[in-house]
Amino acid sequence: MSYIDLVDDTICALITTPGLSGISVVRVSGKNALSISRKICPFLKSDVESHRVYLGRFKTAQGEIIDEGLVTYFAEGQSFTADETLEFSLHGGKACAEKLLQELLSLGCRAAERGEFSFRAFYNGKIDLVQAEAIHSLIKSRNDMARSQAVGQLTGVLSQQMDKIEQGLIHVLAQLEASIDFSTEDIEPYSLDKMKQSISEIHLQVEQMSSGFKKGRILTEGLKVVIAGAPNAGKSSLYNALLGQEKAIVSAVPGTTRDTLESTYSETGMPLSLIDTAGLRDSDEEVEKIGIERALQRLEEADFILFVLDAANEDSWDFQPVLHKLEKTVFILSKLDQNPGTEEIYTRKIAKVLNSQPLHRIFLTSSKTLVGIQGVKGFIDTKSLVDIHHDEALITQHRQHSHLQKCSNFLQRSLDLFDKQASYDLLAIEIQSALAEIFAMLGKEFDEQVMDHVFKQFCIGK
Amino acid sequence: MFLSSFVLESKMSEKFDMIVVGAGHAGIEAAMAGARLQQNVLLLTTRLDRIGYMSCNPSIGGLAKGNIVREVDIMGGLMGRVTDKTCVQFKRLNSKKGPAVRGSRAQCDKDLYCQEMRSVFEKHRYIKLLEGEAKSLVLDGDLCTGVVLEDGSTIHSKTVVITTGTFMRGVMHMGLQRIEGGRVGDKATVGISDQLAENGFTVIRLKTGTPPRLLKSSIDWSKTTPQYGDEHFYPFSYSSPKQTVLPQIACFLSYTNQKTHEIIRKNLAFSPMYTGQIEGLGPRYCPSIEDKITRFADKENHQTFLEPEGLTTDSIYLQGISTSLPEEIQYEFLRTIPGLENVKMIRPGYAVEYDCVEPTQIWSTLETRNIKNLFLAGQINGTSGYEEAAGQGLMAGVNAALKCLEKEPLILARNEAYIGVLIDDLVTKGTREPYRMFTSRAEHRLHLREDNTLERLFSIAEKHNLLDDEYRKTLAGILERRQKLSATLRETKISPTEQTQNKLKTMGTMPLLKQISVADLLRRVEINFSDLVENGLAETEEEVVSESVEVEIKYEGYISRQLGLINIAKKAENIKIPIDIDYSGVRGLSREEVEKLNRIKPLSLGQAQRISGVNPSAIQAILIYLKLHKAERVAHGNRH
């Protein structure tokens, strides 16, 4: 069942972090919010005012005192969700809040689902889709920069930039339509050249925004660092050494790691995912094969790859898996304790196999003696720092990125059409398609599935 | 005279299935459609000599409008075939801008057009013509059962179609002079619009205008530039000969200048538009010359076409110079235009104000919501243009006849025809200015082409028996040949042999990498069907067969993309909304949205989406309501 089937329910949830905190806040929202709350707050006068705080004792139906605290009333249309809302501030700790929630449920409230408050704000027209997603990012954000990005989106910086793209496309489309429908009249719409120029400019804006996704994603989801290499190259040892814990099982048997392992940590305040993968080799063994497929998948998604090479076993070097990903690959020479050498020697050896210039970044390490591990760590940390201007609004959602990319493709296709005797009717459909992507991104189009997908990501209570 | 008296004698005793009030472009098609469905039709007009009269410009068709004419033709209508027969200049507009935005336009001999139309009706076994004016409708509760004539006599019928154009409380303005009437030489009809208002209809006032008609012999043609039509004729109807019947003529281009504009500007005080004498809203896309020089003050000149209204007439239509200034001022500014220095007017330009019914008060069948068995079509629904009128007339006629036959109504979808777009726009969005069709109003434009009208509508016309047997056979034959050609092009394969590669080289296209079909080759931008024929890759075929096949193959990729969009739209279109919803009970709607939705009562979520001022969040709200509503109904049903 989708949220929109349930907007007549009155919902409630704890909206502060559960656990030990100074105060807890419980929100009740929906058409019966006030009448239900009155049963708990007998002290509320008949003429409660919106945005006013009332002090009193919260009681159960049996007259038992739950807590003494504050309750704030938000009238319909004036709350976050736009539905009638009350927020209870109670003493911290689990007991009071749970008691209150139980009482609310017994009075006919329903526990809010993930993201349901935000859904209602969107549904009631208080926020647009991009802002709704920003709230989601804000809740998830693990660092200051991500938070400021989310705030930027929430205040609509991103929406404003999208608006500009939307308006630009509508303008071009209007010019195009005018030169179709009014070609026999005395008017002068854009020339084809001018139209092409306008589309190029919009295309560039879309591309810029789309490319910002990489930064935006690193901010909210963290940098994805994937450790890969041949079996028994020492990937899991490196993984453990970088994490400073024995997370992965290490053995001398090739193929010990069968599935991918993932750990998130933060040294710099920026989130980072470190991923260990199964050794890459031809295998007939069913389970190992699945592990290898997953490893290859991880390589595609990686922001960068630590490709581990056994310094003691040059015969095992196989660069095939990273051949087309060299720009995001760093080579880690492992087991240096067994086969010492200099950085220069190994750089040249790798270049020789790759048949290229010796320009690749390499680190000489030993997970046993921890030589070189700090260097790798420092390198990852610098990579995880993203340089962002304070007025830059980055897209942080895959959904947004996918629409922008499609929009960009349609615009590219329309530019191609200009090069081969543009037919106006076809040009129009490319631009309409591009515009449809922007509409979809902004949630201006009706699509129940998209809505549900977006709101399922939300955290309860926000 | 003989004819009308014949009908008058029998009218009291006879009961008709349909009465069509008005014999303009809408009335003609309504009557014809009724007759095709073997209904007895009375066609009532105030003037028998003006059946299908072109009150304004002497052309039929144009961008998007040409598509409508072809749609009307496939659905058994008359406009296309009579236009072909009386065409004196033909042009395919936007010919280089893509097949989906092309439009055929034919200038016609106005008098011959009327004669042709009249001759169709005079000999028709199901249609009776009557000269007279309908003063009011016969109402039995909310049911319309006939009309009352000027002489007080009553004629009964099962259904009534009103197509009165600009005649309902029509007022003509020229300078500060006001004359009652819908058109020069014709009186206005009064009574019906008051009666509609009394029965709860919102009646709105619209305005339109027409330019002066000039005396041919008073024009110095040497100062104008002749404009000829196309060599190639694409008849509107597949029943017409491949060549035009009448001799082809030119029209002539001239321009206004600063002097012209100065005179008009100086005399704006005498233009009823500017004195506030006219309240009705005029069309933005067809501004008067007063409007043009006021709104586009920077423009140094405006073009005007001098279009002969026929082969033998002395009357020249001055396209682009619609005006309602006093006659003497019209003379003053006209004589500043090159070629018109000594011009004489046969008739000055004037503006017409008229009543129409706010079209959201009618169903998609064109039956009114307030009064059953009453259908409205044409300008009375707020449209402008002969073609828009014809399309509505046809559908009103078909649906009135189907109602008489107690059959399901016929509603064309937005992805089937421009006529579908037209009617859906009117009944959902309404209009505040005279509505004209544009290609951009059709979201399924790539599919709604002139060349594939047959593919789009033939099966519908056939199913509803709208075609006479001869034409049905002609159309079925063309369609079959097209399907055969299409199949052959797709099935014939060519391989990268040396001979083929050499041939492709001479055709100026890339060699083959692997075996492909001839259709694949045709998809290349630089290849067209005639190249295939010349190089022995396809057999020669008439253009009437090959053109649509070629466009279909070349546009396939785009069309399937658009069909994808159509399907997304259909998703919302398929969610039906019951008529009995009270929107004030739907949570989350603004007051304005409730008011609009309650008034229009959309039949589907898609239709609701298109109502202006109804926001996406409202659509969500309606969907929720529908789900709850449905759940309630099911629960209710289970109890019984």
Q: What is the mean pLDDT of residues B284-303?
A: 84
Across the interface, which of A5, A183, A428 has its CB nearest the CB of B624?
A5
B302 and A186 within 8 Å at the Cβ level: the answer is yes
A187 burial class (0-12, 13-18, 19+ CB within 10 angstroms)?
Answer: exposed
| A250-259, B48-57, B631-640: least confident range | B631-640
The residue of A120, A413, A426, A433 whose CB has the most chain B CBs within 10 angstroms, and thus the best one to mutate to test that interface, is: A426
One-letter amino acid of A459: C
B591 touches chain A (CB under 8 A): no
Across the interface, which of A185, A424, A429 has its CB nearest the CB of B97?
A424
Nearest-angstrom CA–CA distance, A4 and A109: 17
Question: A205: pLDDT confidence band, cut at 50, 70 and 90?
Answer: very high
B426 burial class (0-12, 13-18, 19+ CB within 10 angstroms)?
Answer: buried
Contacts of A428 in chain B (CB under 8 A): 445
Residues 133-192 of A with CB under 8 A from B: 177, 179-186
| A130-144, A295-309, B596-610: least confident range | A130-144
- Measured CA to CA in angstroms, residue B374 lies from B145, B206, B547, B635 at distances of 8, 22, 41, 38
Contacts of A182 in chain B (CB under 8 A): 285
pLDDT above 60: residue A448: no
B22 touches chain A (CB under 8 A): no
Bridge-based pairing of strands B134-140 and B345-347 is unpaired
Contacts of A126 in chain B (CB under 8 A): none
Residues 397-436 of A with CB under 8 A from B: 420-421, 423-426, 428-429, 433, 436
B621 touches chain A (CB under 8 A): yes
pLDDT above 50: residue B217: yes
Write the pLDDT tens digit of every residue in A60-74. 988 888 989 999 999
B461 touches chain A (CB under 8 A): no
B101 and A8 within 8 Å at the Cβ level: the answer is no
Bridge-based pairing of strands B345-347 and B213-215 is antiparallel
- Per-residue model confidence (pLDDT) at position A144: 64
Nearest-angstrom CA–CA distance, A383 and A306: 13
Q: What is the mean pLDDT of residues B29-34?
A: 98
- β-partners of residue B42 are B19, B128
B215 touches chain A (CB under 8 A): no
Share the mean pLDDT of chain B: 90
Helix axes B65-74, B453-463, angle to 10 degrees: 40
Write the pLDDT tens digit of every residue in B260-275. 999 999 999 888 877 7
Higher pLDDT, A433 or B10: A433
B558 and A443 within 8 Å at the Cβ level: the answer is no
DSSP state of B50: G
Q: What is the pTM of this model?
A: 0.74
Write the pLDDT tens digit of every residue in B338-356. 999 999 999 999 999 999 9
Nearest-angstrom CA–CA distance, B295 and B73: 39
- Per-residue model confidence (pLDDT) at position B637: 40
Contacts of B254 in chain A (CB under 8 A): none
- Per-residue model confidence (pLDDT) at position B395: 98
B446 and A436 within 8 Å at the Cβ level: the answer is no
Write the pLDDT tens digit of every residue in A155-187. 667 777 888 898 888 888 888 888 888 887 776
With a CB cutoff of 8 Å and minimum separation 6, the contacts of A337 are A366, A368, A369, A371
B61 touches chain A (CB under 8 A): no
Smallest CA–CA separation between B617 and chain A, in Å? Answer: 6
